[in-house]
Amino acid sequence: MHMEKGEKQMSEAITSDALKTFFRKDLFAEFVGIELLEAGNGRATAKLQLKDHHRNSIGLVQGGAIFTLADLAFAAAVHSRGRIAVAIHCSISYLKAVQGDFLLAEVQEVSCGPKIALYTIRVTDSSGEVVSLFEGMAYRKKERWMA
């Protein structure tokens, strides 16, 4: 994976706690109930404890709740490299109905270039089954962020 000169040192200096503090400012994710468990070096894990308001009219977990969880985890992973980034493309596949009382999103960095970064996010339910696959592409701005 290509990173700009000095990029590795910057990403290693960003702690998981700093990312958690930064993403507490994401009021929508906070409202939904998403907890960022860990993040750093192009990776992230986030959890959503499911409640009744996460379900749709037929009793299944609403797709938007799953998307929001994956999107927050994606944002944490891309920001762990130290620069402000914005999503330019996201896609999600819903593979099966959610079982249990929580969801976990785990991010894998595929590529991180000077301007474009690509990530895959696996969303699993409390039984460990993959319920959704999310792919996110981000544009990496020059500006650095501070928690």
Two tokens, residue 51: 């409640």
d(CA 4, CA 8): 8
Two tokens, residue 20: 């958690």
Range of the domain at 78: 7-144
| DSSP sequence for 21-48 | HHHTT-HHHHHHTEEEEEEETTEEEEEE
pTM for the full predicted model: 0.89
Q: With respect to residue 132, please indicate whether it lies within any of the assigned structural domains.
A: yes
pLDDT per residue, tens digit, the chain (147 aa), is: 444 444 544 444 578 888 888 888 888 999 999 999 999 999 999 999 999 999 999 999 999 999 999 999 999 999 999 999 999 999 999 999 999 999 999 999 999 999 999 999 999 999 999 999 999 999 999 999 875
Q: With respect to residue 105, please indicate whether it lies within any of the assigned structural domains.
A: yes
Helices (H) and strands (E) in the chain, counts: 4, 6
CATH number of the domain to which 66 belongs: 3.10.129.10
Q: With respect to residue 18, please indicate whether it lies within any of the assigned structural domains.
A: yes
- Please tell me the predicted confidence (pLDDT) of residue 127: 96
Residue 44 pairs in a beta bridge with 39, 107
